[in-house]
Amino acid sequence: MEIQGTVADGYERVREAFAANFDRRGERGAAFALYRGGRAVVDLWGGSADGDGRAPADGGTPWAEDTAQLLHSATKGLSSAVLMLLVERGLLELDAPVGDYWPQFKASAKDKVTVRQLLSHQAGLPALDVPLSAARAVDGVSGPRSVAEQRPLWEPGSAHGYHPHTFSWLTGELVHRATGRTLGTVLAEDVAGPLGLDLWIGLPPEQRHRVGRLAAVEPPPAAPGGGLRFRPRREVAEAYADPGSLTRRAFGAVDPAPDENTNAWHRAELPGANGIATARALARCYAALIGDVDGARRLLRPDTLAAATAEQVSGPDRVLIAHTRFGLGFMLHGPASPMTSPAAFGHPGRGGSLGFADPGLGIGVGYVTNGMQPTVVNDPRAQALIRAVRECLADQPLLG
């Protein structure tokens, strides 16, 4: 497999790990980028943009430097950055009831649910009593109406459980009510535009040709002794297999599962699920959250970032059936999402994508793939890349 792009001196092991993903871990088409100290030190891509692994000689489309990819739940980190930008500007207050901005949300015993609880997956709204079709999920009306009418599945603030789909309608409608703009518009005008990012929630039609096509791929066999393969505990596997479990209901809030390769899905705005970006843009965005990047000013003040990444919840997750840690929308380093250090924050996406920053190490990371492996967190390809980054950074001088 021909790997294209560049790595700075001292980061060669990341290129080796990226190539090994194609050789040994089922990769089909992907890109990986790493920023350190506000500059790009790794920018790699390779494989097929078609998602089925066909080589160009066999009719496949090669992954190009500007190929972008659907991020799945890695979108949540970008949306959280937008929410915190609005908090910084005084347009949202973390401890204000969501109903102050969105009166209809007060229905069904939700009048005291706060913005903070909504962002940290404490609102008790991970699933819907009546799932939405794909068409209704993206119509801009049915999703917000459904979560506004939904009764919490636990007392808000008393527990936490990952909101895979409903996070989209909750955050999207909150931003629209507070600003009069959609979350995707705020991201485009106030984040992606100033930083020059190929990154969207709500893909413009003229960018459609750049998006890689998703396809399922077989996960790699487990290496002797365990290797990097993540093995779910028995109770996790049972929760995903049980149609009546909260886990299945949460991930089944859109039913039947949508075709995520369609124009309709790409152009909709689902701030928890359908962001589209290059790995370079994802890494650059996270780098800009923790410092200046290539002369551009950082996105959030240090005090805002500290609030965003302070642990809000830690412990058993009622949906993921694992120990999770969340800040304000950002997933924090932990057993369910190992990053580079306890200081790291970001978000993985179903099937493999990952974006995060580590302020202690001064890095921003972006990984995107069109080869969908059956993982929500702990994808073996992302794990291999993160391990290589750690090894390279151990040999690098500390940032001043």
Q: Is a pLDDT exceeding 70 seen at residue 92?
A: yes
- Which CATH class, in words, describes the domain spanning 3-327+341-394? alpha beta
Task: Tell me the pLDDT tens digit for each residue of 116-145.
Answer: 999 999 999 999 999 999 999 999 999 999
- Judge whether 108 counts as a catalytic residue: no
Contact 34, 283 (CB under 8 A): yes
Task: Enter the tokens of residue 312.
Answer: 């809000």
In 10 A of CB 92, how many CB atoms? 22
Q: Count Cα neighbours of 49 within 13 Å in the Cβ-side half-sphere.
A: 17
In 10 A of CB 131, how many CB atoms? 16
Q: What is the DSSP letter of 37?
A: T
**What pairs with residue 266 in β-bridges?**
none
Task: Tell me the pLDDT tens digit for each residue of 194-229.
Answer: 999 999 999 999 999 999 999 999 877 765 544 444
> Mean pLDDT, to the nearest integer, of 354-362?
97
At residue 106, φ and ψ (nearest 5 deg) are: -65, -15
pLDDT band per the 50, 70, 90 thresholds, residue 342: very high
User: Cα(144)–Cα(317) distance, rounded to whole angstroms?
Assistant: 24
Amino acid letter at 31? A
User: Cα(385)–Cα(343) distance, rounded to whole angstroms?
Assistant: 18
Burial of 205 (0-12, 13-18, 19+ CB in 10 A): exposed
Q: Is a pLDDT exceeding 50 seen at residue 43?
A: yes
User: Cα(67)–Cα(342) distance, rounded to whole angstroms?
Assistant: 31
Torsion over CA: 111, 185, 364, 84 (sign): negative
User: What are the CA-CA distances from residue 249 to residues 97, 143, 211, 239, 270 (Å)?
Assistant: 26, 15, 29, 10, 18
Q: Is a pLDDT exceeding 90 seen at residue 97?
A: yes
**What does the pLDDT read at residue 225?**
46
At residue 19, φ and ψ (nearest 5 deg) are: -65, -40
Transcribe 310-351 into DSSP letters.
S--EEEE-TTT-SEEEESSSPEESBTTB--SSTT-EEEE-TT
**What does the pLDDT read at residue 57?**
61
Amino acid letter at 296? A
The structure tokens 């930008």 sit at 85
Residue 340's nearest CA partner among 57, 14, 64 is 14
**What is the SS3 assignment for 32?**
strand
> Mean pLDDT, to the nearest integer, of 30-39?
98
**Ranges 47-56, 74-83, 157-166: which has the least confidence:** 47-56
Torsion, Cα 241 246 247 251, to 10 degrees, reads: 110
**What does the pLDDT read at residue 396?**
86
Task: Tell me the pLDDT tens digit for each residue of 241-287.
Answer: 899 999 999 999 999 999 999 999 999 999 999 999 999 999 999 99
> Mean pLDDT, to the nearest integer, of 1-30?
96
Q: What is the DSSP letter of 377?
A: S
> Mean pLDDT, to the nearest integer, of 23-43?
97
Contact 217, 367 (CB under 8 A): no
**Ranges 15-19, 313-317, 336-340, 378-382: which has the least confidence:** 336-340
Distance of CA 226 to the CA centre of its chain: 26
Please provide the average confidence, as pLDDT, over all residues in the chain: 94
Residue 35's nearest CA partner among 356, 337, 338, 391 is 356
Q: Is a pLDDT exceeding 60 seen at residue 62?
A: yes
**What does the pLDDT read at residue 53?**
67
User: Cα(312)–Cα(332) distance, rounded to whole angstroms?
Assistant: 10
User: Cα(270)–Cα(365) distance, rounded to whole angstroms?
Assistant: 22
Q: Is a pLDDT exceeding 50 seen at residue 230?
A: no
**What does the pLDDT read at residue 256?**
96
At residue 69, φ and ψ (nearest 5 deg) are: -145, 145
Q: Is a pLDDT exceeding 70 seen at residue 313?
A: yes
Contact 160, 317 (CB under 8 A): yes
Burial of 260 (0-12, 13-18, 19+ CB in 10 A): middle
**Ranges 299-303, 357-361, 378-382: which has the least confidence:** 378-382
- Is the bond leading into 256 cis (omega within 30 degrees of zero)? yes
- pLDDT, greater one: 68 or 218: 68
Q: Tell me which of 48, 73, 80, 120 is the catalytic residue.
A: 73
Q: What is the pTM of this model?
A: 0.96
